[in-house]
């Protein structure tokens, strides 16, 4: 059964540190589709038929691309598998140009968050969150999953994140002071929940809510928004941190190499190539 081969493939990839949540669901769907048609191996026609069920061409290309990568793995073990051609085009899209915030824009963005909504604690939560993202370059998911025990005298412990890698993120004394001010206000709201950032009802923040508050703040301060323009998002704070860190590096080969390696580790990148992208 193709389902068993998919299970084996996912186990191998996940052992290498890949989460493969959406890809896993897609491949299991493809395996079920093939099994229903009596196909125990990857078949070109079946793969194209399954991928074509997506609503648009880019999504069809991504679905078929997932099958192609799986088929190459399966073919190494069994020559009866077929590797489909990329008939819908490449499954890789160009990485969008990031929006790099100026220092003034970051300050205005945090101020706008500090004035958003009617509940003071909500304002403090999002202004503190955006401040932490700006001065550490954390991913939003990493920040909203922080717990009390992750705050140590040496910095923030970021546990098993995007690539199942834990790391320590040192904090400047000003960042520690700001975080402590927020925690003093936060503790009475949900004493039984140890998440650092919580909503006004005492539950952990959701990334979609962070996106909404960021977008509203971006509109209020007049950040450029529209088709064809780099899009400001909460992740822009991470991009901006990375670019500023690289701009501060001395301009010689040895310093750049060491700086790149240090920044890649600090940001939690799986490959240093992801840091060189900046």
Q: pLDDT tens, 4-43? A: 999 999 998 888 767 788 888 999 999 999 999 999 999 9
Which has more confidence, 182 or 229?
A: 182
Q: Which of 13, 165, 167, 235 is labelled catalytic?
A: 235
Q: Which of 139, 145, 195, 239 is labelled catalytic?
A: 139
Mean pLDDT confidence for 65-74: 94
Average predicted confidence (pLDDT) for the chain = 90
Do residues 29 and 62 touch, judged by C-beta distance below 8 A?
no
Q: Which of 182, 238, 239, 266 is labelled catalytic?
A: 238
Q: Is residue 69 predicted with pLDDT exceeding 90?
A: yes
pLDDT digits (tens, 9 = 90+) for 138-181: 999 999 999 999 999 999 999 866 656 788 999 999 999 999 99
Q: How far apart are the C-alpha atoms of 160 and 71, rounded to whole Å? A: 29
Mean pLDDT confidence for 77-92: 88
- The reported pTM is 0.71
Our answer to whether residue 255 is catalytic in this structure is no
Q: How far apart are the C-alpha atoms of 86 and 91, rounded to whole Å? A: 8
Q: How far apart are the C-alpha atoms of 87 and 1, rounded to whole Å? A: 25
Residue 156, strand partner residues: 151, 169
pLDDT given at position 272: 74
First to last CA, the chain: 44
Length of the chain: 278
| CB neighbourhood size of 208 (10 A) | 7
Name which of 54-58, 82-86, 195-199 the model is least confident about.
54-58
Our answer to whether residue 258 is catalytic in this structure is no
Q: How far apart are the C-alpha atoms of 111 and 251, rounded to whole Å? A: 34
Q: What is the CA angle 62-64-69, rounded to 5?
A: 95
- In 3D space, the residue among 180, 159, 158 whose CA is nearest the CA of residue 169 turns out to be 158
Do residues 189 and 198 touch, judged by C-beta distance below 8 A?
yes
54: left (phi over 0), alpha (psi -120 to 50) or beta: beta
pLDDT given at position 278: 76
Our answer to whether residue 108 is catalytic in this structure is no
Q: What is the CA angle 80-84-88, rounded to 5?
A: 170
Assign 3-state DSSP to the chain and report helix, strand, coil percentages, each to 5: 55, 5, 40
Q: How far apart are the C-alpha atoms of 248 and 253, rounded to whole Å? A: 14
Strand 167-169 vs strand 151-152: parallel, antiparallel, or unpaired?
Answer: unpaired
Query: How far is CA 71 from its chain centroid?
Result: 27
Mean pLDDT confidence for 217-233: 91
pLDDT given at position 276: 77
Q: Report the chain's C-alpha Rg in angstroms.
A: 22
Q: Which of 162, 165, 220, 244 is labelled catalytic?
A: 162
Our answer to whether residue 208 is catalytic in this structure is no
Q: How far apart are the C-alpha atoms of 51 and 57, rounded to whole Å? A: 9
Q: State the residue for tokens 């009390």.
A: 148
């Amino acid at each position: 059964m193709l389902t068993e081969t998919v299970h084996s493939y996912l186990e191998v990839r996940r052992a290498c540190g890949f989460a493969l949540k959406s890809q896993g669901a897609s491949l299991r769907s493809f395996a079920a589709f093939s099994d229903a048609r009596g196909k125990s191996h990857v078949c070109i026609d079946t793969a194209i038929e399954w991928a074509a069920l997506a609503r648009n061409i880019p999504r069809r290309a991504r679905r078929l691309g997932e099958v192609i990568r799986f088929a190459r793995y399966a073919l190494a073990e069994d020559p009866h598998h077929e590797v489909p051609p990329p008939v819908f085009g490449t499954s890789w899209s160009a990485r969008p140009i990031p929006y790099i915030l100026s220092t003034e824009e970051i300050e205005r963005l945090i101020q706008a968050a500090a004035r958003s909504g009617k509940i003071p604690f909500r304002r403090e939560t999002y202004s503190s969150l955006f401040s932490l993202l700006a001065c550490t370059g954390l991913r939003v998911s990493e920040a909203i999953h922080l717990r009390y025990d992750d705050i140590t005298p040496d910095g923030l412990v970021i546990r098993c994140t995007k690539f199942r890698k834990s790391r320590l993120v040192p904090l400047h004394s000003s960042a520690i002071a700001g975080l402590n001010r927020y925690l003093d206000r936060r503790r009475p709201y949900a004493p039984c929940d140890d998440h650092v950032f919580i909503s006004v009802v005492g539950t952990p923040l959701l990334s979609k809510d962070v996106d909404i508050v960021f977008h509203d703040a971006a509109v209020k301060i007049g950040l450029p928004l529209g088709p064809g323009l780099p899009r400001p998002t909460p992740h822009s704070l991470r991009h901006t941190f990375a670019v500023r860190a690289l701009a501060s590096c001395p301009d010689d080969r040895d310093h750049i190499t060491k700086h790149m390696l240090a920044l890649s580790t600090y940001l939690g990148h799986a490959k240093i190539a992801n840091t060189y992208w900046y």
